[in-house]
Structure 1
Amino acid sequence: MSSQKVAVTDLRSALELLKSIPGQLIETDEPVQPHAELSGVYRYIGAGGTVQRPTRIGPAMIFNHVIGHENAKVVIGLLASRERVGYLLDTTPEKLGCLLKDAVKTPLAPIVIPPEKAVCQEVVYYADDPGFDLRRLIPAPTNTEQDAGPYITMGMCYASDLETGESDVTIHRLCLQSRDELSIWITPGARHIGAFYEKAEAAGKPLPISISIGVDPAIEIGSCFEAPTTPLGYNELSVAGAIRKRPVELVQCLTIEEKAIANAEYVIEGELLPGVRVREDQNTNTGMAMPEFPGYTGPAASIPVIKVKAVTHRRNPIMQTVIGPSEEHVSMAGIPTEASILDMVERAMPGRLLNVYAHPAGGGKYMAVMQFKKTVPSDEGRQRQAALLGFSAFSELKHIILVDEDVDPFDSNDVLWALNTRYQGDIDTVFIPGVRCHPLDPTQSPLYNPLLRDKGVSCKVIFDCTVPFHLKEHFKRSKFKEVDVSRFLPRADGTRKHAT
């Protein structure tokens, strides 16, 4: 039975749940500029992640008065703490990876509902209307003053293979370029929709695509799985269905042959154009795109274009956004990473990998802490095999830190303690050079290391901070007496519990 005070089915019910939990959501009526100011404020409130210091983990935030968009609100930081994601997915923060691992194994396919039941189409704007302007309809902010333009950072992009009909949902950075055009960044070789687009473009055909903004957070988390855990043709909306134990509801779009998430706050309908590329910063000439998860603002690129056909939204819509390098990205990318590693290692060596933490310092992608338990002498060495499987489960991982069962993988101080007392650099470091990783890491470039053959190629590293099995008796932590602490702490009424 669910322990949630409010059943979460969409963004609005997610916000209602957070309102019922102290310290998880705040609102402001203070007018805010969407250009840089909104993100600049939230940096101090709760961004966390790899955002420039000072920052912190804090509540989600609703801006009720966004200048230039008087009829819309903007929410940021919905997933910007692991504790809050636990509330939203109805589990504990430590079990999120296991929850998603199980959800991938028990997918529940989405269903299509009639248009009259789809709240995302309560208000409709067509692009062929003379007054249509995407930039006025969508209150998309910029993260910094150098951004290429306003970005949609939490858009669930949904498209299908034109030949097979297989569908998928992923998140991409989308820059508002004109009244009816968006640019879209697709990481080379890493996204299912990228494969659909390559196929359509080779055939000279546009690819219909819908972008749903402001949805159930289970959809946002589930959409971030990648191959091999969810191979081409696996619809990640099925993960959200499994988490909620009810199918995600879709609706047929009004202007394209594609579907959208029926209870989204906003839906953009459009087509990915074949053979068309646009300079991402064509309107600002900053040379920059937007801050990405490693904490750096990358250069603007020449990328594909979406021609918008329509925008629909709920009455009094709520725009959802994210700061690129924030803890929110760590949640969306990192928890599926944990699930993927747990699943692959469990299949290879059951019972040995206890937990995984995709650390915020790696943006949820570059670094994982793996908690491994050795129970017999022959387990020695298997911890490094598990790390190799971790790299296979999620190809963008760069560093893996292995720790024993008595080390809390979610406590950075405990992990660093293991690094300092259970690790020797010359014998406990494993280098794996020349492996494909991720192009947004500025060190993964021949400019940084001439030995690298291409941008996005890296030296992956295993830091083995586990105690050799035959020495485990020599590395026992100091054991403290178990006590009932509540006897010594004041209650809400100022009294203390008395021993009986």
Structure 2
Amino acid sequence: MEINDLRSAIAMLKQVDHQLIETDIEVDPNAELAGVYRHVGAGGTVMRPTTIDGPAMLFHNIKGHTDASVLIGLLASRKRVAALLGCQKEELGKLLCKAALNPIEPVVSNKKAACQEVVHRATDPDFDLFQLIPAPTNTPVDAGPYITMGMCYATHPDTGCSDVTIHRLCIQSKDELSIFLQPGSRHIGVMAERATQLNQPLPISISIGVDPAIEVGSCFEPPTTPLGYNELSIAGAIRREPVVLTPCISINEHAIANAEYVIEGEIQPKIKVVEDQNTHTGYAMPEFPGYNGVASHECWLIKVKAVTHRKNPIMQTVIGPSEEHVNLAGIPTEASIYNMIEKALPGKVTNVYAHPSGGGKYMAILQCRKTVHTDEGKQRQAALLAFSAFPELKHVILVDEDVDIFDTRDVLWAMNTRFQADRDCIMIPGVRCHPLDPSSDPLYSASILDKGISCKTIFDCTVPFALKEKFIRAKFMDVDKEKWKDFV
């Protein structure tokens, strides 16, 4: 069935067994909701026990909020993401790569938008984000309620180019949000920095509860999507039709027309806020590596002007270290790496997998093809290209075509039988990586000069071309699958 918004995605899941569960039991969005879903399907780098590849979950009875539901785990299964995007789970990276190379730009419609069925303005006497937005906390020590699946959309003050990204958003007061913008790393951060130089606010819309193609497509990073590239065009390519935007009601910006919620506001120039100013716990929320993120003292401030939403809206949320975040970050990572390598070494890497243990960012497994003796060494060139394609990558594992990169046991089999550390482990110390890796800190090792610097490592678990005949896996008889259809 056609999917063009969150509700059509949910409707599709309802037709598939074990992909969505619903409950009317009252749940507290303050830590309880995430605590429940941890056992249902969080996976990822969440501390065990947790369930991997569990169903999405829709809560219809949210404590303190009437007429609203909360959805979690929509993208917490690679198989489910593939179904929602219309491909095989092994081909997701290639699908995203093709979409990024063939973008379809969004369009603006002035028709009445579904996301504006109900309107709340900040000038209303009872306007209160805490009451309007059923945003959960992941843990009891979070800095506050977080909007974790908000599609942040803004426009560069000079170029007029727009883009969408996902950022950490914490409700700080009845009409204020904090937004964490890692300096220079994402397009909206660059836009906010330029607006500050001009001493003007940056209008921003935050669309929550949208087509999953938009959510996955919004997680690309340079160099695949350089400044000026609108990542909504990737979702357009996936769906083969443009994403529809609508003018906001209180700011000079656009929002995703069929979103469940839209928050309209402005990033304030030269104002920074402490993320945990209301809780003083020292923590923000759990991040993708599996640890509690440290509260930032340099978050930007969004002054909210309005909130619009559908009737009976569905809030969408994600657990920071869950498999859902792995897929959001990891599938665009796969696409970026595959794109870079295919351009430089066509046909030498057949697939890429951003492994969940790295949160979709730290570790990639490359399936390599060697057909002639001059291919020897190109697998290591591919690894270097992977680091260039995705700077936050820390570890690359190289395997041959006969290894299933999506099966960790098979990958570790290759490491145990086709790897000798003294010749097949290549270390590149002193390279900028990702600041959320707690081991990338001078306190961890004197070899690390600054926080966020790591030793990037290649694990070459491929067979030397000259020895391929000595490493042929045991081959079994191909059986008649129709005859044994009840068993194989």
> Fold-level match, TM-score > 0.5?
yes
Residue 344 of structure 1 aligns to a residue whose secondary structure is helix
1:84 pairs with one of 80, 100, 121: 80
Residue 82 of structure 2 aligns to a residue whose secondary structure is helix
2:60 pairs with one of 44, 64, 84: 64
Compute the displacement of 1:203 (Å).
1.3
Compute the displacement of 1:278 (Å).
1.0
Compute the displacement of 1:165 (Å).
0.4
Aligned to 1:180: 175
| Cα-Cα RMSD | 1.0
Structure 1 residue ranges, 4+ long, deviating more than 6 angstroms after superposition:
none
Aligned to 2:435: 439
Residue 269 of structure 1 aligns to a residue whose secondary structure is strand
Compute the displacement of 1:186 (Å).
1.1
Compute the displacement of 1:16 (Å).
0.3
Aligned to 1:22: 17
Alpha carbons 1:436, 1:458 under 8 Å: kept: yes
Counterparts of 1:196 and 1:489 in 2: how far apart (Å)?
57
Aligned to 1:54: 49
Superposition TM-score, scaled by structure 1 size: 0.96
Compute the displacement of 1:129 (Å).
1.1
Alpha carbons 1:72, 1:319 under 8 Å: kept: yes
- Describe how 1:20-169 pairs up with structure 2 within 5 A: 20-57=15-52, 58-116=54-112, 118-169=113-164
- Describe how 1:194-213 pairs up with structure 2 within 5 A: 194-213=189-208
Aligned to 2:355: 359
Residue 471 of structure 1 aligns to a residue whose secondary structure is helix
Compute the displacement of 1:29 (Å).
0.7
Counterpart amino acid of residue 131 in structure 1: D
Q: Does the C-alpha gap of structure 1 residues 197 and 233 become closer, same or farther in structure 2, counting only changes over 3 Å?
A: same
Aligned to 2:243: 248
Aligned to 1:395: 391
Alpha carbons 1:115, 1:252 under 8 Å: kept: no
Compute the displacement of 1:485 (Å).
3.8
2:290 pairs with one of 285, 290, 295: 295
- Describe how 1:334-483 pairs up with structure 2 within 5 A: 334-483=330-479
Residue 429 of structure 2 aligns to a residue whose secondary structure is strand
**Structure 2 residue 274 is the aligned partner of structure 1 residue 279:** yes
Compute the displacement of 1:115 (Å).
4.2
Counterpart amino acid of residue 89 in structure 1: L
Q: Which moved more, 1:461-470 or 1:447-456?
A: 447-456
Compute the displacement of 1:189 (Å).
2.1
Counterparts of 1:242 and 1:219 in 2: how far apart (Å)?
10
Counterpart amino acid of residue 417 in structure 1: W
Compute the displacement of 1:289 (Å).
0.5
Counterparts of 1:288 and 1:168 in 2: how far apart (Å)?
29
Counterparts of 1:370 and 1:126 in 2: how far apart (Å)?
50
Counterparts of 1:450 and 1:274 in 2: how far apart (Å)?
38
**Structure 2 residue 204 is the aligned partner of structure 1 residue 219:** no
Deviation track 1:273-318 (CA, whole Å, cap 9, x = no partner) reads 0111111111111111100000000211111110000000011100
The answer for unaligned runs of 5 or more in structure 2 is: none
Deviation track 1:19-39 (CA, whole Å, cap 9, x = no partner) reads 011111000111000000000
Counterpart amino acid of residue 404 in structure 2: D
Alpha carbons 1:372, 1:403 under 8 Å: kept: yes
Compute the displacement of 1:386 (Å).
0.2
Counterpart amino acid of residue 149 in structure 2: M
Compute the displacement of 1:487 (Å).
2.5
Residue 483 of structure 2 aligns to a residue whose secondary structure is helix
Counterparts of 2:262 and 2:336 in 1: how far apart (Å)?
30
Alpha carbons 1:183, 1:304 under 8 Å: kept: yes
Residue 289 of structure 1 aligns to a residue whose secondary structure is strand
Aligned residues: 486
Counterparts of 1:254 and 1:399 in 2: how far apart (Å)?
46
Counterparts of 1:403 and 1:283 in 2: how far apart (Å)?
48
Counterpart amino acid of residue 166 in structure 2: I
Alpha carbons 1:115, 1:121 under 8 Å: kept: no
Counterparts of 1:367 and 1:62 in 2: how far apart (Å)?
31
Counterpart amino acid of residue 306 in structure 1: I
Counterparts of 1:321 and 1:405 in 2: how far apart (Å)?
37
Deviation track 1:159-187 (CA, whole Å, cap 9, x = no partner) reads 01011101010000100000000001112
Counterparts of 1:486 and 1:295 in 2: how far apart (Å)?
44
Residue 459 of structure 1 aligns to a residue whose secondary structure is strand
Compute the displacement of 1:400 (Å).
0.3
Counterparts of 2:82 and 2:355 in 1: how far apart (Å)?
16
Counterparts of 2:107 and 2:232 in 1: how far apart (Å)?
10
Residue 293 of structure 1 aligns to a residue whose secondary structure is coil
Compute the displacement of 1:352 (Å).
1.1
Residue 174 of structure 1 aligns to a residue whose secondary structure is strand
Deviation track 1:456-496 (CA, whole Å, cap 9, x = no partner) reads 111100000000000000000000000024423549xxxxx
Counterpart amino acid of residue 461 in structure 1: T
Counterparts of 2:422 and 2:155 in 1: how far apart (Å)?
49
Alpha carbons 1:46, 1:77 under 8 Å: kept: yes
Q: Which moved more, 1:208-217 or 1:293-302?
A: 293-302
Residue 42 of structure 2 aligns to a residue whose secondary structure is coil
Counterparts of 1:384 and 1:188 in 2: how far apart (Å)?
31
Counterparts of 2:380 and 2:481 in 1: how far apart (Å)?
39
Counterparts of 2:199 and 2:444 in 1: how far apart (Å)?
38
Counterparts of 1:138 and 1:291 in 2: how far apart (Å)?
20
Compute the displacement of 1:447 (Å).
1.6
Counterparts of 2:293 and 2:7 in 1: how far apart (Å)?
33
Counterparts of 1:202 and 1:453 in 2: how far apart (Å)?
30
Counterparts of 1:489 and 1:111 in 2: how far apart (Å)?
48
Aligned to 1:263: 258
Counterparts of 1:345 and 1:299 in 2: how far apart (Å)?
35
Percent of residue pairs identical: 67
Counterparts of 2:257 and 2:300 in 1: how far apart (Å)?
26
Counterparts of 2:353 and 2:115 in 1: how far apart (Å)?
35
Counterparts of 2:277 and 2:228 in 1: how far apart (Å)?
34
Q: Which moved more, 1:185-194 or 1:154-163?
A: 185-194
Compute the displacement of 1:454 (Å).
1.5
